Structure 1
């Protein structure tokens, strides 16, 4: 479940990235649009982010699958086989109902067919070239995810046709695509890198399909007048994806004597705020943080063994918070934001394992104990600096401080009970789970 939240949050941001850079109350000349101008730079942001994220997650894909197997090993719900088509079905349903979009039905159909052709060529060419085995071992055509590519092609189709009419159409379409990609991971049919690449291919395919068809028609749409209906919002209300490093403080895991074993963790989440004016707003976040623990090495030469390793599964926390936000604009491009939130932190259970080749088990490991951090209240404060790419999108550098206290309860394997333990197989340690999060956010204003 841990990194599936990350997948959900990252895919969700395509709702924003794939948005056109809108020119309010202006009809622009189509024949000036080409790949070298700023508008196409904006269109390329979403696919580029997904492709970079896919490459960055490649080395961690097996670790991410291990977390899925740790929490929901038997998950099997095939909703993603059908949900991928829902945004396109919505477009044609709206056309039949007489709701006017960017183009008439014939032109929209031609643009959609072109987008599908581009997507199909890219997906099948890559699938047959890279030969990546699926995580469930069923075939060697895992990369990229065809379902996710189809879902994001359809979602961008809905956005292109009706996003200017009402942004809720875009939100609905990209939400369906998001849950399709999530389903491919939950069902163990694709690696995270497959899904991220598929999302990028889907968005890019539709943008290219519309580009070429618009060239043929020599304008940007049959109903360009819809652009004049768009109204802006001067308040800095936003929705953002955050991904960064989590740096535990010096007393993190001190009572469990693991403070020198903790590694730099990661955090990922979704954050948003609604501003009542240009300065003040109320916001909330949902964030997952994970902290790996170095394995402990023991030499057992006196027992005829070279060594054994004790492995502690990473600590994971699902965090929620709500509180006030303050924004200050230095100029049109740079914005400072401060926040302070109170919330709740939910700890994930984990295992402590003894690993070595001499252990007679399929995975050469023996479970020493289980652990579970108790749920606790959480305080979060932070500062961020955003560079606005345009009025709708920005890149944010953030630094957050998070503070909570939790008792970690340990339950040892009954096999380990002896006289010295007085048959007491339970232990606990009250820990301060304080850490600093540093990273980037993709911020969309609405």
Structure 2
């Protein structure tokens, strides 16, 4: 417990501390278990790959009376020559390598889900930054739609199979691949859930990380993508991954999962399906393949449109100055707070009319790290005049921003698998607030602050001592990107964006709310609440990567 010179005490937010202490195991313990699981999976992948390559090569004995068949003319006239004229003399026991043209395990497997898993693991320490997404933007949101939407892509794929629409696999192979996908996902998710033992945001149960609903949704979306997105139309992929993303967002809005849970669940869902389909290729080989993939490698000159899930870091060192009217209470502090580095997650989609020009939209959530807001309370200056006996809670150290934009997208595919891009967008941003909570315990007094009698009746009160509230504002943006096609319509994108907005922040200082409880009989107590507005031009530079479905 820290005590200031004027006896104002401070402590870290009990809610945040409770959340941290509720972790059943320290960071190193669960992190090491995940590392062990990763090594086991990698070993299994290596063993399966070796087995696949060994089974791919057969040694076939050459027969002495082999006959060659050759198409000479359009009528396919067949002719034969004696063996000596066809090839050099060989020993009957000699062998030759004969390669079966079967789908290979390593060629069909993609690793697009691994970065999402990594983002979920690394973002676990930052989960409290977006904890208030539910409370701030849609506090009334409560829906069970996510319980059903998670299965929608799989229901669509199965319905197309039942109706006889030709996809990648026959019914038997489709059921086997799907069953393995969900089984692998369930095993991985539940193992991690009960190993990490992380509390949910709503404090209901300790099985938050990773999100099972999101993992299920991305398994279903990847099945739809492989069966019909790659063979019939890429719009199936767009629909499937769109529904899966909506499932993850709803899990956060329902206050059931942290953002790190959702990202890790998405990655596990994709990788489980990729592994299951690779195993199907190993087991079934060519059996049960009905329709070929239209394109294994994306040609960005013909398929520049995309849907992406993106992540980035936000650079910012802009400050909000301390209003002069606040200084008699907070002391001579030049800056009230500073925007530190932030994290952005979001979705982006663009439709191109030709290989060069298109229109697109993006929706993203930015968690800004707030610095120095606690300084006037933890280390009050000599000129500060904080009320005595008051403790201060810093509920969080982040400020949330929700952004949406629409605009012109440009592309220059300078190679079939590589493209440069640019964009010019206009949109809106919504900044939410951050506050410093105060708590005071005392005894009720009869009379006024100048003349009173202590009743010895105890009271406890809490209130917002300092509040910084954002607003809605116009947002202009531009940026550039570099896209590399992967395989199976997947692409990777690195981007650099610059956004500008002119926001107004409302600052409210309420230092004496406690007097209403300590002197309930006093009338006409002076109103000491101070409100100031600061206009601020905000420039945000974001650098990040995106996982894309090209179509």
Q: What is the TM-score of this pair, normalised by structure 2?
A: 0.63
Instruction: Please state if 1:395 is matched with 2:492.
Output: yes
User: Which structure 1 segments of 5+ residues have no match?
Assistant: 1-27
Query: How does 1:241-320 map onto structure 2 within 5 Å?
Result: 241-248=309-316, 253-254=320-321, 258=335, 261-294=338-371, 295=373, 296-298=375-377, 299=379, 314-320=398-404
Task: Give the secondary structure class of the aligned counterpart of 2:205.
Answer: coil
Deviation of 1:93 after TM superposition, in Å, equals 1.9
After superposition, the Cα gap between the structure-2 partners of 1:240 and 1:421, relative to the gap in structure 1 and judged at 3 Å, is farther
1:237 corresponds to which of 289, 293, 305: 305
Taking the aligned partners of 2:198 and 2:394, their CA distance within structure 1 comes to 32
Taking the aligned partners of 1:130 and 1:159, their CA distance within structure 2 comes to 31
8 A Cα contact 2:492 2:545, kept in partner: yes
1:205 corresponds to which of 264, 272, 276: 272
Taking the aligned partners of 1:233 and 1:29, their CA distance within structure 2 comes to 31
Query: How does 1:425-440 map onto structure 2 within 5 Å?
Result: 425-440=530-545
Structure 1 stretch 272-281 or stretch 408-417: which is displaced more?
Answer: 408-417
Task: Give the secondary structure class of the aligned counterpart of 2:155.
Answer: helix
8 A Cα contact 2:199 2:207, kept in partner: yes
Query: How does 1:32-51 map onto structure 2 within 5 Å?
Result: 33-35=104-106, 37=107, 39-40=108-109, 43-45=110-112, 47-51=113-117
Query: How does 1:69-108 map onto structure 2 within 5 Å?
Result: 69-73=135-139, 75-108=141-174
Determine the structure 1 residue equivalent to 2:191: 125
1:31 corresponds to which of 75, 97, 102: 102
Taking the aligned partners of 1:259 and 1:388, their CA distance within structure 2 comes to 46
After superposition, the Cα gap between the structure-2 partners of 1:421 and 1:219, relative to the gap in structure 1 and judged at 3 Å, is farther
Deviation of 1:187 after TM superposition, in Å, equals 2.3
Q: Deviations over 1:233-278 (max 9, x none)?
A: 625333333322223365x535866476331223333334333333
Determine the structure 1 residue equivalent to 2:283: 216
User: Which structure 2 segments of 5+ residues have no match?
Assistant: 1-98, 324-333, 444-458, 516-523
Taking the aligned partners of 1:310 and 1:110, their CA distance within structure 2 comes to 52
Taking the aligned partners of 1:111 and 1:74, their CA distance within structure 2 comes to 40
Deviation of 1:66 after TM superposition, in Å, equals 3.8
Determine the structure 1 residue equivalent to 2:129: 63
Query: How does 1:150-229 map onto structure 2 within 5 Å?
Result: 150-163=216-229, 164-219=231-286, 221-225=288-292, 227=294
Taking the aligned partners of 2:183 and 2:396, their CA distance within structure 1 comes to 48
Instruction: Say what the alpha-carbon RMSD is for the aligned residues.
Output: 4.0
After superposition, the Cα gap between the structure-2 partners of 1:126 and 1:404, relative to the gap in structure 1 and judged at 3 Å, is closer
After superposition, the Cα gap between the structure-2 partners of 1:263 and 1:84, relative to the gap in structure 1 and judged at 3 Å, is same
Deviation of 1:346 after TM superposition, in Å, equals 3.0
8 A Cα contact 2:181 2:276, kept in partner: yes
Deviation of 1:33 after TM superposition, in Å, equals 0.9
Taking the aligned partners of 2:442 and 2:433, their CA distance within structure 1 comes to 20
Taking the aligned partners of 1:282 and 1:99, their CA distance within structure 2 comes to 32
Deviation of 1:223 after TM superposition, in Å, equals 0.9
After superposition, the Cα gap between the structure-2 partners of 1:261 and 1:421, relative to the gap in structure 1 and judged at 3 Å, is farther
Taking the aligned partners of 1:380 and 1:327, their CA distance within structure 2 comes to 17
Q: Deviations over 1:187-231 (max 9, x none)?
A: 233333333222222222222322333333221743134648999
Determine the structure 2 residue equivalent to 1:3: none
Taking the aligned partners of 1:200 and 1:312, their CA distance within structure 2 comes to 28
Deviation of 1:32 after TM superposition, in Å, equals 5.4
Structure 1 stretch 67-76 or stretch 307-316: which is displaced more?
Answer: 307-316
8 A Cα contact 1:249 1:436, kept in partner: no
8 A Cα contact 1:405 1:430, kept in partner: yes
Taking the aligned partners of 1:100 and 1:77, their CA distance within structure 2 comes to 35
Determine the structure 1 residue equivalent to 2:429: 346
Task: Give the secondary structure class of the aligned counterpart of 1:292.
Answer: strand
8 A Cα contact 1:346 1:376, kept in partner: yes
Taking the aligned partners of 2:322 and 2:422, their CA distance within structure 1 comes to 33
8 A Cα contact 1:253 1:433, kept in partner: no
Determine the structure 2 residue equivalent to 1:7: none
8 A Cα contact 2:104 2:281, kept in partner: no
Taking the aligned partners of 1:416 and 1:356, their CA distance within structure 2 comes to 10
Taking the aligned partners of 1:49 and 1:363, their CA distance within structure 2 comes to 48
Structure 1 stretch 386-395 or stretch 141-150: which is displaced more?
Answer: 386-395
Q: What is the TM-score of this pair, normalised by structure 1?
A: 0.77
Task: Give the secondary structure class of the aligned counterpart of 2:189.
Answer: helix
Instruction: Please state if 1:384 is matched with 2:455.
Output: no
Taking the aligned partners of 2:527 and 2:421, their CA distance within structure 1 comes to 55
8 A Cα contact 2:129 2:367, kept in partner: no
